[in-house]
Amino acid sequence: MQKVNSNTEWGKLKEVVLGRAEMAQIPKTKKHDIHCVDYANYPTVSNLHGGEYPEKVIQETIEDLNSFQKQLEDTGIVVHRPEVQNLNLLCSTPNWTSDGYYMYCPRDSVLTIGDMLIETPMPLRARYFETLGYKKIFKEYFSSGSKWISAPKPELADELYDRKDLSKPTLTEYEIAFDAANVIKCGKDIFYLVSNSGNRLGAKWLQSTLGDKYTVHVMDDIYAYVHVDTTILPLAAGTVLLNPSRVNENNLPEYFRNWKKIWATDPVETPYLEHYAPASPWLGMNVLSLSDKLVAVEKNQTPLIKQLEENGFDVMPVQMRHCRTLSGGPHCVTLDTVREDEYGNYR
């Protein structure tokens, strides 16, 4: 196992963590937190389904992830998988009790920047202990010389969540809270989306932790729902994939104005189960760069595949039959730990 090295979203991928679907569920202890983060568009918490996903969904997702693993390994990428966790167990803090969620999206709970693993202070109670499933992997990276830290563990008290005005992010500034998937990397420039899954205090903590070597750019007028990787994704130095329904010339970060802009074609609507926090159709642009020339794309997104090929990229089609039901495409279900890339200025 090599030392962690991940400075960009597009460097040649050498090692990756790939999620799991075993025991995936919607928490049965449905509370204010999940209503504000994953289900902000639902009128009441009583509308939410709780419990394990249907067995067919689990089994077919396991098959799809195993196939994705083989595709990655066939290109020479080393793939690590987390340990299966018993997500039915109830876990408690002094403030609340919750069962678990899933191990499907390692992109959410851990951020890699340079040679550092950062466990992020996720705002969902059901994911509070999720990184326990990655400890064995992280211990090996630590032994290889990687840095490994954890953000301050949040209380996740009710004061963190506020649904009074759904035109604004539902996280307050009560404490530091953010998902790793709120962040994209371009060398020394780090972009942080303020949304239902990341507040301003999170960006402030990340800047203070990374120090003067990095600049954390706060994006607060683009997309308030959850993560950034269905909205803005750099594909190569100087080329960025953009969601035209959320990004425009007025709110596009200044950094990307001189880059080549690929305005993603309308996504293909794929099936999903209702009441399982289904992702928007724009999950179709949730792609994983295996290098600055090769991109993994959910195989049903044929218009996007054609668009990327017309712009000079090779495409690896990936079968993900239930990606919208589980809210995770090729980028979400992976965590790039080792890339052949460098810290630098890519402006």
Q: Which of 34, 156, 141 is nearest to 94 (CA)?
A: 156
How far is it, in rounded angstroms, from Cα 239 to Cα 261? 6
Q: Is 332 a catalytic residue?
A: yes
Catalytic residue among 32, 80, 227, 322: 227
Catalytic residue among 179, 189, 229, 341: 179
How far is it, in rounded angstroms, from Cα 202 to Cα 216? 11
Q: Are 236 and 215 in contact (CB under 8 A)?
A: no
The structure tokens listed for 225 are 């729902």
Q: Is 179 a catalytic residue?
A: yes
Q: Which residues contact 146 (CB under 8 A, 6 or more apart)?
A: 3, 4, 115, 116, 117
How far is it, in rounded angstroms, from Cα 254 to Cα 192? 14
The structure tokens listed for 294 are 């090769």
Q: Are 184 and 241 in contact (CB under 8 A)?
A: no
Dihedral through CA 195, CA 184, CA 232, CA 312, nearest 10? -170
Which residue reads 């090599």 in tokens? Answer: 2
Question: Could you tell me the strand order of the sheet in which 189-193 lies?
Answer: 183-186, 189-193, 215-219
Q: Which residues contact 144 (CB under 8 A, 6 or more apart)?
A: 1, 2, 3, 4
For 154, other C-beta atoms within 10 Å of its C-beta total 22
Catalytic residue among 105, 186, 323, 332: 332
Q: Is 33 a catalytic residue?
A: no
Strands (E), the chain: 12-18, 25-26, 51-52, 78-80, 91-92, 97-98, 110-113, 116-119, 147-150, 183-186, 189-193, 215-219, 232-236, 239-242, 260-263, 288-289, 294-298, 314-318, 334-340
Active-site annotation, residues? 179, 227, 332
